[in-house]
Structure 1
Amino acid sequence: MESADLAACGALLAERHRRHRMAEPLLSARFCAVDAALRELTATFETTGASGAVALRDAVPVGFVLGAPKSSPVWGPNVWVEAAGQAVTDAEVIRDLYAAAATRWVAEGRTAHYVLVPAHDADLVRAWFRLGFGQQQAHAVMPAVRTRTAEVAGLTVRLAVRADIPALAELDLELPRQHGSSPTFSPGVLSTVEENLAEWEEGIADAGLATFVAESEGRVVGSAIGCALEKSGTHLGLARPDNAGFLGFAAVFPHARGRGAGRALGEAVIDWAVDSGFDSVVTDWRVTNLLASRTWPALGFTESFLRLHRTVAT
């Protein structure tokens, strides 16, 4: 892929996003405009290490794929095809594009491949599956509408206070611990309670975060955090709805799971988003996290993008 290809590929991206919004109207309308889509594509193209491929039919571009590496060691020697990194007129074309682009990626030693695919496009998702990819993560959105679920007996959800910091520091470890167990097997980098305590000493006063705790029999059993989506480093560009709140974290101690605490915490963040004037709420989850992948859709979240993953054995 070369700079001369960007204008035509930007038009393909804008058309892809237009079709995506027909299925998910909460996504931003801005990127249906070619100039806005082109800016996102250009920014990706100018990322250090970016490379990809363009498919032509009768000298006219009919698709592209564009990826770039991330420096975090969590992801391995990687390439990411983000939300602005692909568009095709025919889903099957993506398989030829990947074959061309991945030749270079693997030659460079980048064997962990991640791709963000519009969730509504079943043909495109299937084409990636037929390239050996599987779903790792779900990105999802819902309208900011107040919840009306009955209260859970014996459970109180409230805003966190400074006295909750020890419990919050412990709860910060629960999500990576859960991800490290079956069937997710992906703990990431684990922090320590001491590191979490130090962060919460400052973070508890952050007006940009809405931190909730669930309390049962006088003890904190879970927590959740809401904030503006702009604070997220994951939901960017075409994957970022306008004026959206973000359910960025939720965890419940193992002994308290299965009683509705996670759902109650999610509802608290959604209601906070409504009160804060957001139009929608965004979240994401590992699809192998059995609790999250059942709780968040039950609250009304629908998948907007799927993160797919493949590791190439060399």
Structure 2
Amino acid sequence: MNGYTVRAITEADIPIIANLLISRQNLESKTFPFLKNHCLNIAYIIDIFERLFNRRAIGIGAFFHQELVGYLIGELKIDTLRGRHVWIPYEGMAIREDQSPELIRALYAEISAMWLNQGFFMHYAVIPLGSQCYFESLQRLSFFIQQVHGVMDLEEYLPFKQASDAEIRIADKADREKMGRLSGIIQSYQSSAPTFELALPEIVADIKSGYESIMDDADAMVLIAEKDGKELGFQIYEAAAQRLMWPDGGVELNVAGTYPCQMGHGVGKKLMNEGCRIMNERGYRHIIADWRVANLASSTFWPKCGFYPIAYRMVRSIDSNWAWAHFSM
């Protein structure tokens, strides 16, 4: 990195980091116009970084002629699901438009050694897709796509013509038991081939309880597909929070699924048709969803519905034996 100065960035650098992120988002909005949202302002973004640095975050920046031209920030986290890992949020990486994508790789090379020296070998990054430089750079750092974050424009939705004849209705508190049974669908899909996600017993129990209690959540709308009184599938919607990577006034499709025995019978299509009709009537323009790229059912169905990727969650796993089995001259 000849001519560049690389150093740690701290709370004192937040104003210049925020300005660089705004420039990145202005570029993103050329591909995704809805990213010109209410969150794209200096006060909101400064608040994001203040909260990030108040947690356990480590960041570095690259300076050229004393101007910040790129940064990378990761939060060091420890939890039951992912263990010791680094989380690079959507806001955690940006380079100036005139810089080479190689700067991203160089920044990661600098900071990743710091993470490994503290015992953090799993690295997650949520990256924007308007500019392909972030995706391409992380691919060339051996990151892989784990999760897709997508958006559907309801004005462009084309209802499925061939769908199930199941009844679709809005669930109520009397459906708690049905929701408890439906809670196993997602865990079943996620833990089976080829996704192979862990289904830890304590997490499965929490998910079942969460599905049942969602019937008490006034902010959530649950659609249930039924036939002859038997539940077949469901969708859960909730007004989307304001976030930099989401359109204003969107609705989030939090989770959806159909029983495996109902796959291929048009239940998901019928739910999607009805869900889009209701959300359109309620004045929403965009639906937000995310899915595992290795989940064959979701990664084929959601794009058919009209969802397109706006961000990826990418992951790199480094062999922890590096802690003792590395060599330097």
Q: Distance in 2 between matches of 1:312 and 1:305?
A: 23
1:290 maps onto 2:296 in alignment: yes
Residue 23 of structure 2 corresponds to: 15
Residue 6 of structure 2 corresponds to: none
1:165 maps onto 2:172 in alignment: no
Q: Distance in 1 between matches of 2:164 and 2:220?
A: 27
Q: Distance in 2 between matches of 1:312 and 1:197?
A: 33
Q: Please identify, of 105-114 and 203-212, the stretch whose mean Cα deviation from structure 2 is larger.
A: 203-212
Q: Please identify, of 292-301 and 273-282, the stretch whose mean Cα deviation from structure 2 is larger.
A: 273-282
1:3 maps onto 2:3 in alignment: no
Q: Distance in 2 between matches of 1:51 and 1:170?
A: 42
State percent identity of aligned pairs: 27
Q: Distance in 1 between matches of 2:47 and 2:147?
A: 26
Residue 153 of structure 2 corresponds to: 143
Whether contact under 8 Å (2:175, 2:215) holds in the other structure is no
1:63 maps onto 2:70 in alignment: yes
Q: Distance in 2 between matches of 1:84 and 1:31?
A: 12
1:223 maps onto 2:234 in alignment: yes
Taking structure 2 as the reference length, what is the TM-score of the superposition?
Answer: 0.86
Whether contact under 8 Å (2:58, 2:76) holds in the other structure is no
Match of residue 155, structure 1, among 166, 183, 198? 166
Q: 1:109 to 1:192 in 2, by over 3 A?
A: closer
1:111 maps onto 2:121 in alignment: yes
Query: Offset of 1:62 from its aligned partner?
Result: 0.8
Q: Distance in 2 between matches of 1:180 and 1:35?
A: 41
Q: Aligned with 1:239: secondary structure?
A: coil
- Kindly provide the amino acid, as one letter, of the partner of residue 249 in structure 2: N
Residue 90 of structure 2 corresponds to: 83
1:127 maps onto 2:133 in alignment: no
Any unmatched runs of 5+ in structure 1?
Answer: 231-235
Query: Offset of 1:83 from its aligned partner?
Result: 1.2
Any unmatched runs of 5+ in structure 2?
Answer: 1-8, 321-329
Taking structure 1 as the reference length, what is the TM-score of the superposition?
Answer: 0.89
Query: Offset of 1:197 from its aligned partner?
Result: 6.3
Residue 233 of structure 1 corresponds to: none
Query: Offset of 1:303 from its aligned partner?
Result: 0.9
Whether contact under 8 Å (1:51, 1:67) holds in the other structure is yes
- Kindly provide the amino acid, as one letter, of the partner of residue 246 in structure 2: R
Whether contact under 8 Å (2:86, 2:124) holds in the other structure is yes
Q: Please identify, of 178-187 and 125-134, the stretch whose mean Cα deviation from structure 2 is larger.
A: 178-187
Q: Once the two structures are superposed, what CA deviation does each residue of 1:245-292 show, in whole Å capped at 9, x if it has no partner?
A: 010011111111112212322333333322222232111001111111
Q: 1:253 to 1:182 in 2, by over 3 A?
A: same
Q: How many residues align?
A: 308
Residue 3 of structure 2 corresponds to: none
Q: Distance in 2 between matches of 1:97 and 1:194?
A: 41
Q: Please identify, of 201-210 and 300-309, the stretch whose mean Cα deviation from structure 2 is larger.
A: 201-210
1:33 maps onto 2:41 in alignment: yes
